[in-house]
Structure 1
Amino acid sequence: MTLPDPVPTTTDPAADTKEAPLYSPARVRELLNRHGLRPTKSLGQNFLIDGNILRAIAEAGGAQAGARILEVGPGLGVLTREIASRGAHVTALEKDERLRPALAETLAGLDVELIWGDALDFDYASLPEGTRVIANLPYYITGVLLSRFMHAPGIVSATVLVQKEVGQRLAARPGEDAYGFLSALAALHGSVRHVRDVPKGAFLPAPDVTSSVIRLDFDRSRPAPEAALLKFVEGALHHRRKTLRNNLRMIGHEGPAIDAALIAAGLRPDVRAEDVPLSKLEDVARRLGVVR
């Protein structure tokens, strides 16, 4: 009797790993090992390994056919692939030259332009109108990058992974515990929406904190806030639990002028800085001659 040929089986674990989705922990580890890489904490390298989170970020960020997307810190290209696979054109900024071979492999054949260099040195004002940012931001430069995005006229939105605490501060309103200068800065440029929280286990290696996906939409139809106003708001909210009057005195304004401005704006003399609506703060700034 002739026996049927045995069904072929895969005996090479590495071959199975290479067939796994790029975001799977096994695939990420295999790529790191094969290219002799180790995540660098100083560069904030925590790679996403949750497909549901990747899809949620790409969807919330507006990754679709024809969209122009800027990504900061593509890492192994996990999020980059998800964005590009939807038909978007991706410009990705990466500082770590060690990742060249891995990214050449993972992004082969995709509409991705890689720019090697420090994201802090990039000219964001050069980006074309309608650009959207989608990125897992390095935590140590989150605030600086968000400010750069806000001031870049071509960027219309930024959907970013940040520390949960930073996300709360971005989305906070006057009177809430997390409200401060970052909240006001975001509101001066547009609006903020909390998309979802992301547990530590969605990354490899796992960070020390929970993260959040936040989407900022920038209103480019209104004039950008003046530098003098931004400096005023920053000083007014520097000690947000102190009275606004005390904070304004600390940045050089005279008591009688402050009192007159507060009364004219309909504010109590003992109002705490964190409780003042942004429109009222702008009103006080005008009455003090900071802006017109």
Structure 2
Amino acid sequence: MKISELKAGLEQRGLVPRNRFGQNFLIDPALLKSIPKDAGVQTGDRVLEVGPGAGALTEELLAAGALVLGVEIDVGLHAWLQERFHHEISEGSLRLVEGDVLAKTERLHPEVEAWWNSGPPPRVVSNLPYVISGPFLGRLPGRPLLGAHILLQKEMAEKAAGRGGAGSLPVRLGLSFEVSLGRGLPPEVFWPRPKVDSIFLNLHPLEEAPSPAEEKVLRELLRLGFAQKRKCLLPRLSADFPAASEALTNSGVLETARPEEVPASLWLKAAREVIIQDSSSP
């Protein structure tokens, strides 16, 4: 879709890009065509696309043979997608969900949850709206996932990859996935142009990733641990998770240590000790 067609289509429907939804449309045709290949999409792959917008990337994913679930929060764009892809919807290669991909808990939209668990592990391929990038990425560990190729604000992608220092999200992602940064994109390939650079974040699942039960406890430990990064970690953990505090102490973590000083492997060890203690409690 050319930028002239995009603008005309929006104007015809009385739509404008909305900042609150982080709408910056990809407008580089060559780039759009390359994304499915860069993401490793194969014919028959189930692909989640968050924020399909006007469907430029959706079109390329379908052309690559993917079975796409598109989740669009903008009512007007959702209606346009239904109109534009009515044939693909009727034949079953595309399914659209209108709404916020994020549920109020640590889960995804109920229809997305049901779809995710109804078949083989999916891929996530998205020009992800910046406003939901952190919460969405935080919902990926602990899920069956074939891989992810997600376009993010550069600063957010670097943080997720652990290049911005330790934090709850990079620890969790690093334990579940091989995390790498891909191609960087300038503002000029978007309309409207964002004020920041963008870059692709790649996630490839690790064979020895935490189990869903371990990931749940790990998330709780990290949330508590990083809530006050400047304070010592062990005293805060000992009240709610004494088994975790003891496991870290036995692994050589000092009482004065701060959360960013604890290696990811020890966070996972602490989570496993919590599970062992809980399972042995009457």
Q: Which residue of 1 aligns with 2:193?
A: 206
The residue correspondences of 1:68-217 to structure 2 (distance < 5 A) are: 68-110=46-88, 111-121=93-103, 122-123=109-110, 124-126=112-114, 127=116, 128-153=119-144, 155-172=145-162, 177-217=164-204
Q: In structure 2, what is the Cα distance between the partners aligned to 1:52 and 1:179?
A: 36
Q: In structure 2, what is the Cα distance between the partners aligned to 1:84 and 1:99?
A: 18
Q: 1:151, CA displacement in angstroms?
A: 3.8
Assess, with a 3 A threshold, how the Cα gap between structure 1 residues 36 and 169 changes in structure 2: closer, same or farther: same
Higher-Rg member (1/2): 1
User: What letter corresponds to residue 274 of structure 2 in structure 1?
Assistant: V
**Range moving further from structure 2, 107-116 or 135-144:** 107-116
User: What letter corresponds to residue 170 of structure 1 in structure 2?
Assistant: A
Deviations 1:181-228 (A, max 9, x none): 110111232221211222112111112322221112234765222422
Q: In structure 2, what is the Cα distance between the partners aligned to 1:93 and 1:34?
A: 22
Q: In structure 2, what is the Cα distance between the partners aligned to 1:147 and 1:284?
A: 19
User: What letter corresponds to residue 276 of structure 1 in structure 2?
Assistant: V
Deviations 1:238-284 (A, max 9, x none): 344x46xx123234449x99997555313455544323221123345
Q: 1:26, CA displacement in angstroms?
A: 2.0
Q: In structure 2, what is the Cα distance between the partners aligned to 1:64 and 1:81?
A: 15
Q: 1:57, CA displacement in angstroms?
A: 2.8
Does residue 34 of structure 2 align to residue 44 of structure 1?
no
Query: Are 1:163 and 1:211, in contact at CA under 8 Å, matched by a contact in 2?
Result: yes
Assess, with a 3 A threshold, how the Cα gap between structure 1 residues 102 and 249 changes in structure 2: closer, same or farther: same
The residue correspondences of 1:195-274 to structure 2 (distance < 5 A) are: 195-219=182-206, 222=209, 223-224=211-212, 225-240=214-229, 242=230, 246-253=232-239, 262=248, 264-268=250-254, 270-274=256-260
User: What letter corresponds to residue 205 of structure 2 in structure 1?
Assistant: F
Q: In structure 1, what is the Cα distance between the partners aligned to 2:138 and 2:207?
A: 15
Deviations 1:14-62 (A, max 9, x none): xxxxxxxx0x322221222222210111111111112243234322322
Does residue 45 of structure 2 align to residue 67 of structure 1?
yes
Assess, with a 3 A threshold, how the Cα gap between structure 1 residues 125 and 150 changes in structure 2: closer, same or farther: farther
Q: 1:135, CA displacement in angstroms?
A: 0.9
Query: Are 2:148 and 2:202, in contact at CA under 8 Å, matched by a contact in 1?
Result: yes
Assess, with a 3 A threshold, how the Cα gap between structure 1 residues 55 and 195 changes in structure 2: closer, same or farther: farther
User: What letter corresponds to residue 119 of structure 1 in structure 2?
Assistant: V
1:150 alignment partner, SS class? coil
Q: How many residues align?
A: 260
Gaps of 5+ in 1: 1-21
TM value normalised by structure 2: 0.80
Q: In structure 2, what is the Cα distance between the partners aligned to 1:94 and 1:247?
A: 40
Q: In structure 1, what is the Cα distance between the partners aligned to 2:245 and 2:76?
A: 58
Assess, with a 3 A threshold, how the Cα gap between structure 1 residues 221 and 247 changes in structure 2: closer, same or farther: closer
2:146 alignment partner, SS class? strand
Q: In structure 1, what is the Cα distance between the partners aligned to 2:271 and 2:47?
A: 36
Where has structure 1 moved over 6 Å in runs of 4 or more? 256-260
Assess, with a 3 A threshold, how the Cα gap between structure 1 residues 177 and 97 changes in structure 2: closer, same or farther: closer
Q: In structure 2, what is the Cα distance between the partners aligned to 1:260 and 1:151?
A: 25
Across the aligned residues of Structure 1 and Structure 2, the Cα RMSD in angstroms comes to 2.8
Deviations 1:103-147 (A, max 9, x none): 245435443222222212423432222211111112222222223
Q: In structure 2, what is the Cα distance between the partners aligned to 1:200 and 1:170?
A: 20
TM value normalised by structure 1: 0.77
Q: In structure 2, what is the Cα distance between the partners aligned to 1:87 and 1:259?
A: 49
2:227 alignment partner, SS class? coil
2:221 alignment partner, SS class? helix
Q: 1:231, CA displacement in angstroms?
A: 1.3
